[in-house]
Structure 1
């Protein structure tokens, strides 16, 4: 039964999920895994939508990833086969939002998802109230400070 297979994180669907997440977010698989949320996000999606819908998205992603030999080909294929299809685009948008903000359809996946959202890396900031920058950090100029 396919549902038992997809819930096994060692299956190739998980690898496809991580690879397409890398392409959609611009962060490497290692960076995504370092959030500690990869398995949780994969399983969360399965709990939120029908497995068949997710599998369709992953099969389309798998085909794109296997048939792309350059970054340009990959970007063009994602635009043509995922972004151009409203259902696939919704799934891609939800996955991007989940990685960046830690939310799925407006609700945080868990407490860690807020802390580990990719948005904080992009902003060179920390999540207020969750990860403090450290003692005496106020005396250090921000990374992109013009002053």
Structure 2
């Protein structure tokens, strides 16, 4: 079983949300927690979609997580049971977008969601106007620079 208790949050579905977010984004639960937005995102989704729909998604996710004993099996199960299913596919795509871009249905959740979007880590960049790269960072060649 891949689900673990996270911090001191008592809501069982929150744990499932974090575990499936890890599987969908490729970032560890610790990295997702480090954004400072995990609980904010969870409660934001609860306020934006019907609770029954979100719980259906989380119950499907729970079953997949509990029955997957390898990363390959987990990946295949997510593709077959979540991504291929129209009733859960939209939520999965929205959860991925939420973590990477900090947006839900095209709008930022809050100011921090822009700054902490996972997309900046993937690009080895910083969010313009929000987090600066640091003093004298312009003197260091960019990662993967061809110059």
The structure with the greater share of residues assigned to helix is 1
Q: TM-score, normalised by structure 2?
A: 0.93
Name the CA distance, whole Å, in 2 between partners of 1:60 and 1:21.
13
Distance 1:102 1:117 in 2: 5
Q: Give the structure 2 partner of residue 11 of structure 1.
A: 11
TM (norm. structure 1) is: 0.93
Please tell me the root mean square deviation across aligned C-alpha atoms, in Å.
Answer: 1.1
Which protein, 1 or 2, shows the higher relative CO under an 8 Å CA cutoff with sep ≥ 6? 2
Instruction: Could you list the structure 1 runs, at least 4 aligned residues long, displaced by more than 3 angstroms after superposition.
Output: none
Q: How many residues align?
A: 140
Specify the SS of the correspondent of 2:87.
helix
Query: Could you say which residue in structure 2 is the equivalent of 1:124?
Result: 124
Which residues of structure 2 form unaligned runs of 5+? Answer: 1-7
- Measured in 2, the distance between the counterparts of 1:113 and 1:50 equals 22
- Aligned-partner Cα distance in 1 for 2:49–2:127: 28
Partner residue, 2:33: 33
